[in-house]
Amino acid sequence: MNVFSRINQAIFPGSKEYPKVGAGKLMLLGLQHAFAMSCATILVPLLTGMDVGVALFAAGLGTIIFHLCTGGRMPTFLGSSFAFIAALQEVIGKDPATQADNIPKALGGIIVAGLFYVVLALLIRLFGSRFIDRLFPPVVRGVGIAIIGLNLAGSAINNIQGNGIELYSPAYYWSWGIALLVCLLAIILSSYGKGMVKMSSIVIALATGYIVTLVLTKTGIAPVELMNFEGLAEQGKGLARGWFAIPNFVLPEFDLGAIAMIAPIAIVTCVEHVGDVYASGSVVGRNFTKNPGLHRTMLGDGLATVAAGLVGGPANTTYSENTAVLAATGNYNPASLRVAALIAIVISFFGKAIGVVETVPTCVLGGACIVLYGMISSVGLRTLVENHVDFTQNRNLCIAAVMLVLAIGGAVIGAPIFSVSGIGLGILAGILLNLILPEPKTPDAGMIAHGVDDDGVDENPDEERLSHEK
């Protein structure tokens, strides 16, 4: 046994539970995992105004922390969470002149969100995980995930036809054309692609859109404002970076308003975390809720998010993209994920590479986001369907209705120094209504399912079915 293996097993005792993998194969697997997570991880800072290099660094660091908490027993990579995008955009804002002042406030909210994970991990350790189902039933989880995607829809469209582009101008039509190209390519590759092509569909679509936009603007075919390198160079960003550049680390500030807007999102992402743990376990063939235990995985995710907030990165979360790589390769050694984490950390210091990423046109991002944001909402709907949530029950209808309107309608509850709004308000309302409204003792036909026949007699399909059963 070489020195590296001994150190690895001493730090991550779970490594002994998996077949040994050679150094060359381990590096290849690590590169695959790094590539799989790269798109989503870099997309979050691009959409929120945060630093791409810091996001990659935080993802790598968070993954190492997670593996330390779980003894290296679970093959998981942690990257930037999409669930927090809408709240981060609201806190950080769109104006480059004020973003630098607002990012520290957002980081404070991210840290508190991570601490919520830590508290929940402690509760799971003490009382088990059943209370999670009580607080977050499928109707709250499904609608909560759906409203995250719906809140982001406006951002995707603004990336395409906003940012100073005049309505119905040549730039407007070119922007939509490129966005649709990226969107359709991502759909085709994700639907009909195989292996790494399928898993990298968004990355390929983004790269294609980038090259097409670059060629069209440099040749004068498309308006130059679609891809402006000069602005980034003047700000000392983008391609003006050196080959080696330390990521722009930022220290957090704690603002009650920002915390109230960002931290409640953790309520949904914690539930997503549980789903990812079960999904990874089904792929690998192990019960990770027992070993290392759900409390350890939750603790690792929480501490990773706290670490991200301390250095200036977005909140972390477990990545299903990497679970797909595990399924495709059939190699489940967690060491490959730790190699991917180290690769992400190393890349974060390559200034030119980060600079190229920062020049991605907004219309290209918008095209990819049509698919990505829509998928988030679709996952919420899938959660409702898979868990057989009965919307003929007035109880479920009311919970979903209140959550949707409060989250999407822009409601704000609180005071100037502390308020809750948007997604966080919608999710909190769903939790409270679920606890307050009693479970129906008998099948309850809801407002939509209840009708009147031509003779003016009430007709209830559920009641008719029950009478036949009797």
Where do we find the tokens 């190229």? Answer: 356
- C-alpha–C-alpha distance, residues 174 and 182, integer Å: 12
Residues 363 and 159: beta-carbon distance below 8 Å: yes
The per-type count for the chain, helices as H runs and strands as E runs, is 21, 6
- C-alpha–C-alpha distance, residues 404 and 391, integer Å: 14
pTM score: 0.71
Residues 66 and 305: beta-carbon distance below 8 Å: no
Residue 251, helix vs strand vs coil: coil
Domain count for the chain, please give it: 1
**What's residue 416's pLDDT?**
60
Asked, for residue 458, whether it belongs to a domain, the answer is no
- C-alpha–C-alpha distance, residues 125 and 137, integer Å: 20
In 401-446, at which residue ranges do the beta strands (DSSP E only) sit? 412-415, 418-421
- C-alpha–C-alpha distance, residues 140 and 205, integer Å: 33
- C-alpha–C-alpha distance, residues 150 and 365, integer Å: 17
Asked, for residue 1, whether it belongs to a domain, the answer is no
Say what angle helices 201-218 and 170-192 make with each other, to 10 degrees.
Answer: 150
**What's residue 315's pLDDT?**
93
What does the buried/exposed string (b/e) look like for 15-41 if buried means 16 or more CB atoms within 10 Å of the residue's CB? beebeebeeeebebbbebbbbbbbbbb
In the chain (470 residues long), the average pLDDT of successive 10-residue segments reads 68 77 76 72 85 92 94 89 86 85 94 94 85 80 83 82 82 94 91 75 85 91 78 50 82 91 85 75 79 91 96 87 65 85 90 77 86 80 88 93 90 69 81 88 51 44 44
Asked, for residue 454, whether it belongs to a domain, the answer is no
**What's residue 374's pLDDT?**
83
Asked, for residue 334, whether it belongs to a domain, the answer is yes
Provide φ and ψ at 227, rounded to 5°. Answer: -150, 95
Q: In terms of residue numbers, what domain contains 140? A: 22-436
pLDDT digits (tens, 9 = 90+) for 31-45: 777 776 776 788 889
pLDDT digits (tens, 9 = 90+) for 220-236: 899 888 886 654 454 44
**What's residue 111's pLDDT?**
96
Asked, for residue 161, whether it belongs to a domain, the answer is yes
Cis status, amide bond into 334, omega within 30 of 0: no
Q: Which residues pair with residue 421 across a beta bridge?
A: 412
**What's residue 238's pLDDT?**
52
